[in-house]
Amino acid sequence: MNILDEVKDAKTIGISGHVRPDGDCIGSVMGLYLYLKKVLPGTQIDIYLEKPADIFNCIRDIDKICSDFGTDMEYDAFVALDCNAERLGDAEPIFNKAHTRINIDHHISNTGCGSVNIIEPERSSTSELLYELMDKSRIDEDIAKALYIGIIHDTGVFQYSNTSPRTLEIASELIKFGFDFPKLISETFYEKTYLQSQIMGRAILESIRFMDGKCIVSVVSKKTMDFYQVGPKDLDGIVNQLMIVKGVECAIFMYETDSMEYKVSMRSGGKVDVAAIAVKFGGGGHVRAAGCTMNGTFHDNINNLSVHIEEQLKKG
Ligand code: 5GP
Ligand code: MN
């Protein structure tokens, strides 16, 4: 399949991804934008996305992202990347109005929300999947860089089990374009500001283990985020750091988004299917990495989640 088959007759194309965009979301959105700009030069192409973190400023044309969703545009084609329609946030009505709605994703919890659906859960990332849908002879350094960023973010730099031989083949094709990949990995994936490191340290210090050390949880309140002057984008990586504690099968990290409302991130070593648990609470994701938003106190949420984790661990 070639993405061009679906959009080549469109005069206007919209592209979007999920709320709180992560590296793969941003990499795939920008990779597709740069590719379509190149192969369809006369076409109007607009990107709708929440403003990405500053670390992604190294991607060409990132400033073309529109974060004002109040448009009456009815696009000939609209591509939703790395999520289903509900997770598009304020871009959902724009997607729903489009003539051709294309959904490209790798989340197992996504059943497809477009008139064209390309959902491949075995793919490491939406960026990897998108590479397969492109005409390789038209890929240039800027497109390669955007897709590479997407792949390294969703694979934890080729560390997670979603990394396949094909992922590495694609990465090897991409680095042939000659961009400075060690710098990209260091500056977009590993580097933290001092305040980001401090709040991570505090979250780990205050974490609690339960179920004989098989589960670990930590929470960051709004008050703490205000104290360290950080926002949700600054909390990336905390849940992964909890997950690497020896003996942990399931890690949970939450931060307060509103009064009695928490954004929950879960990670699993493989014995617990955290996507299945996240779906029960209106979220989704992958078997080993998933998330949802939960209402209630921190303790209520932990109680509600741990019932399902315990059930799965007992079965396994
Ligand atoms: P993270 O914990 O890093 O935010 O997300 C882990 C995985 O779960 C990612 O693939 C992300 O897209 C997905 N995910 C996180 N939160 C939600 C959510 O509220 N709904 C859905 N459908 N997926 C989510
Ligand atoms: Mn992804």
Note down pLDDT in tens along the chain; length 316 residues: 899 999 999 999 999 999 999 999 999 999 999 999 999 999 999 999 999 999 999 999 999 999 999 999 999 999 999 999 999 999 999 999 999 999 999 999 999 999 999 999 999 999 999 999 999 999 999 999 999 999 999 999 999 999 999 999 999 999 999 999 999 999 999 999 999 999 999 999 999 999 999 999 999 999 999 999 999 999 999 999 999 999 999 999 999 999 999 999 999 999 999 999 999 999 999 999 999 999 999 999 999 999 999 999 999 7
Please tell me the pTM assigned to this model.
Answer: 0.95
Cβ(31) – ligand 1 distance below 6 Å? no
Q: Specify the ligand 1 atom closest to the Cα of 109.
A: 22
Report how far ligand 2's centroid is from the alpha carbon of 276 (Å).
17
The runs of H, that is alpha helices, within 156-231 are 165-175, 181-184, 194-205, 222-227
For residues 116 and 6, the answer to whether their CB atoms sit within 8 Å is: yes
Q: Name the residue with the closest Cα to ligand 1, atom 22.
A: 284
pLDDT on residue 159:
94
Cβ(263) – ligand 1 distance below 6 Å? no
Given the structure tokens 């190294």, which residue do they identify? 58
Phi/psi zone of residue 256: left (φ > 0), alpha (ψ -120 to 50 degrees), beta?
Answer: beta
pLDDT on residue 1:
85
Cβ(124) – ligand 1 distance below 6 Å? no
For residues 101 and 115, the answer to whether their CB atoms sit within 8 Å is: yes
Q: Name the residue with the closest Cα to ligand 1, atom 1.
A: 265
pLDDT on residue 316:
79
Given the structure tokens 């879960």, which residue do they identify? 266
Report how far ligand 2's centroid is from the alpha carbon of 79 (Å).
15
Report how far ligand 1's centroid is from the alpha carbon of 104 (Å).
16
Of 81, 265, 266, 293, which is best to mutate to test ligand 1, by the most ligand atoms within 8 angstroms of its C-beta?
265
Which amino acid appears at position 113 of this protein? C
Phi/psi zone of residue 120: left (φ > 0), alpha (ψ -120 to 50 degrees), beta?
Answer: beta
Q: Specify the ligand 1 atom closest to the Cα of 283.
A: 20
Report how far ligand 1's centroid is from the alpha carbon of 95 (Å).
20
Which amino acid appears at position 226 of this protein? D
Cβ(257) – ligand 1 distance below 6 Å? no
Of 19, 87, 162, which is best to mutate to test ligand 1, by the most ligand atoms within 8 angstroms of its C-beta?
87
For residues 263 and 285, the answer to whether their CB atoms sit within 8 Å is: no
For residues 274 and 290, the answer to whether their CB atoms sit within 8 Å is: yes
Instruction: State both tokens at 280.
Output: 């029960």
Q: Specify the ligand 1 atom closest to the Cα of 107.
A: 10
Cβ(28) – ligand 1 distance below 6 Å? no
Q: Specify the ligand 1 atom closest to the Cα of 82.
A: 12
Cβ(265) – ligand 1 distance below 6 Å? yes
